[in-house]
Amino acid sequence: MFNIAVKKGHENVSLLGIGAYRPQRIVSNAEVCEVLDSSDEWIYERSGIRNRRWISGDETAKSMAVAAAERAIKNSGIDKEQIGALVLATGSWKTKIPHGAPQVAHELGINGIAAFDLASGCGGFGYGLGVATDMIRSGSAEYVLVIGVETMSVVMEPTDRNTAFIFGDGAGAVVVGPSERNGISPTVWGSDGENSAAISQNYDIPAYMDRAEALQAQGADAEQIGRMVVSMEGPRVFRWAAITLPKALGSILSESGVAIEDIEVFVPHQANARINDLMKKNLGLGDDVPVANDIENTGNTSAASIPLAMEEMLVTGKAKGGQLALLLGFGAGLSYAGQVVILPPVPVETSF
């Protein structure tokens, strides 16, 4: 008989630093409505969005991910050579092969580390944070870089009233590592594949390729062929959220061992400001507990929204490093993931 070695990790894990990148181009509701049959008032009333950021010039998902990661590493105070793994949460990376994480690691100067993409829609950052935390606790890595990055402007249809006004681009990153006291609760996560079609692509990849080939043979141009884009059934998603998210939030608090009265900051996924306010009310959070509202000027950035929202709250003083925050990401899959965390220090290197 033989015994396979077991690594011993760190029981206490925390967010050591945070960084973000926001594209230079600010797109107002008025600009969106130049091609979308809507109005500034209608968009703001239903979503809480006034502006969003879209990539332009030489900005890409990779450049944003690298910039956010560099800031997170600097703000953590650790040497980048100490990072043993990189988790890239994204649903809009332009290629499936090769995946993005190794490219980002190479650009950061840490080529050779474990690096992988994680696709879980708008819940991607929560999933990535859960995986990173468990890697450190198991001994698979000592420090892990978790990045959420999206270029949603590239994968949405600008005339679709269900999606065109919602999405924005950006990247947020955190360095996760061992700490004197635990700063990240066990992750509560789940999915509902029965309702997965509520947020989907208009074509699967083989179907789109077959369609494009057939139309090209008929002499169609690029505009006639169209694009592969995100589609969403808003009412169906809302019904799922109304049933699923209250249970998820209750489970997060239960698993964390923290009372609702101890929560000092609420950072939900930036899908809809009205839904977030409703969740706060239903949770019974005090009026003095700030709720992230990065959606107003950043839009819904899917897997990047929670780290972007955390960074905004810390930079603007709405939240402070060391405070206890409740996180919850949710969306495509349909899936969700959340934790209670101690917020990282206020970043010195910021996206503002």
Q: Please identify every residue annotated as catalytic.
A: 122, 269, 300
- DSSP class of residue 120 equals -
User: Which is nearest to 61 in space by CA: 23, 31, 34?
Assistant: 23
Distance CA 301, CA 168 (A): 5
Distance CA 101, CA 116 (A): 5
101 contacts 117 by C-beta, under 8 angstroms: yes
Helix axes 40-47, 273-283, angle to 10 degrees: 20
* Residues 70-108 as b or e (16 or more Cβ within 10 Å = b): bbbbbbbebebeebbbbbbbbbbbeeeeebbbbbbbebb
Distance CA 298, CA 335 (A): 22
206 contacts 148 by C-beta, under 8 angstroms: no
337 contacts 203 by C-beta, under 8 angstroms: no
Pairing verdict, β 199-201 and 230-232: antiparallel
Residues 6+ apart with CB under 8 A from 262: 324
